[in-house]
Every structure is written in structure tokens, then in C-alpha cells.
Amino acid sequence: SQQGEEDPQALSIQEGENATMNCSYKTSINNLQWYRQNSGRGLVHLILIRSNEREKHSGRLRVTLDTSKKSSSLLITASRAADTASYFCATDENAGNMLTFGGGTRLMVKP
Amino acid sequence: DAGVIQSPRHEVTEMGQEVTLRCKPISGHDYLFWYRQTMMRGLELLIYFNNNVPIDDSGMPEDRFSAKMPNASFSTLKIQPSEPRDSAVYFCASSRGAGHTQYFGPGTRLTVL
């Protein structure tokens, strides 16, 4: 499988619930990023976590990174219908110049 | 800042025609990336430039695809001749530095009939 695989592929929750998405990768990294894509739009950067960080917060977003397991998770708390989108993780595999994106998790938040 | 600008937003063409997609990166960004997104293959990196120089084009599907960056504020992705399997959304993104946050344009939705 490719670098940066998200799990689950699709997630459907009710407004107000928390949403957790996971990402696994294979090589060493300098950083891992999470992006969001609304239908028909380009990707928008949400948060970047460096390899020496374990947890990072931004508003209702919480990202964790476990380099020993080569995995990351994105938690969206108190979800809203407007959070409905696809979420992608991206890694600079082998600390390279480019990002490798996973297949994404499609999140649907029902009002 | 206007963000990354792409044109056209939509393109419908017939098989065999030449297609040119355009991108204006964010001013001051030294990296520019071209991606293709389809349901089947997800988001694929086609090529990227650093300071207007192509660095890695290993993602370009075949010789029908070519990309140029004549200056720091403009890049093109050309498909000649186009085929139905090229139908996809093509994104341009730019960043300041390697492996850093990338800023995506709105994409060009290409349909080849």
C-alpha cells in the first residue's frame, strides 16, 4: 500500500459527535500534515505535526503522532455538518521535497 | 494574497485535441506541484518544480504530458493528444520550501470526450 494510508475510508456520524481518522505511513518523515477537501474544491491545509512532536491542537482539531508505530490520528471534536469533507494525511517520505498523500477519509456529519 | 490561481476551471474537449492547463503560484513560493485526482487513483503527483526547474517528473503518465515553468509566476501542464482516460481534476499547488505546507488551487476539471 502507498505511504499515508487513511483509515477508515468513510465515516458517518451525527452532529456533536467526535470523529477520529487514522493514518499510517512506511518511511521516516520530517513532518506529517492533514488536509481537508470539500467537494469540488482544492485541498486546504489543516495542521502540521513535526516528527519530534507527539500531539498538536488547533481549535476543535487534535492530531497525534506516534513515530514508533508510524501512525497519526486526527480527532475532530463536537463535529458540525460543515465538517463534512474528505480528509487526507500527507507525509514528506524519507524527509524529501514532496508530499505523498493518502487516499483520504470521507467524513459525513449528519445534522 | 489571491492564493494559487488555475485556469480554466472547467475544460471539455474531444479526444485527440491539445489541452493546456495554467497555474499561477503564490508569490514568493519556490516550489510548484501538479497533481491529478480521480476516484480510482486518488491524488497523484505528476511533476514538481523548484525555482522554475523541473525536479521530479516520474509521475507524468506518458509522453503526451508535458509541463513547463518559464518563470516564477506561471506554469503550464499540456496534454497532447488528449484521451478520455485523462479526464480528471488537475490541481496545482505551491509551497515555500521543501516538504512544507502546500497551498492548492481550485483545480481544473478536465473532461475528454
Question: Any chain A CB within 8 A of the CB of B45?
Answer: yes
pLDDT of B19 higher than 60? yes
Q: What is the pLDDT of residue A4?
A: 63
**B70-79 per-position pLDDT tens digit:** 999 999 999 9
- Distance CA(A21)–CA(A37), nearest Å, equals 14
Residue A77 C-alpha, separation from nearest chain B C-alpha, in angstroms: 23
Residue B1 banded pLDDT, cuts 50, 70, 90: low
To test the contact with chain B by mutation, choose from A32, A36, A43 the residue with the greatest count of B C-beta atoms within 10 A, namely A43
Return the C-alpha cell found at A28. 521516516
Size of interface A-B (CB pairs under 8 A): 54
CB burial of residue A111 (10 Å; 0-12, 13-18, 19+): exposed
Q: How many helices (H) and strands (E) does chain B have?
A: 0, 11
pLDDT of B24 higher than 60? yes
Return the C-alpha cell found at B59. 509521475
**B55-69 per-position pLDDT tens digit:** 999 899 889 999 999
- Distance CA(A111)–CA(B15), nearest Å, equals 43
Which residue of B lies nearest to A30 if distances are taken between CA atoms? B99
Q: State which residues of chain A have pLDDT below 70.
A: 1-4, 94-95
Cβ atoms of A49 and A72 within 8 Å: the answer is yes
**B29-54 per-position pLDDT tens digit:** 999 999 999 988 889 999 999 999 99
Cα B38 to Cα B25, B86, B113: the distances in Å are 22, 9, 16
Asked whether the beta carbons of residue A96 and residue B99 sit closer than 8 angstroms, the reply is yes
Residues of A numbered 32-91 whose beta carbons fall under 8 angstroms of chain B's beta carbons: which are they?
33, 41-45, 48, 88, 90
- Distance CA(B9)–CA(B12), nearest Å, equals 10
Q: What is the pLDDT of residue A1?
A: 33
- Distance CA(A104)–CA(B88), nearest Å, equals 17
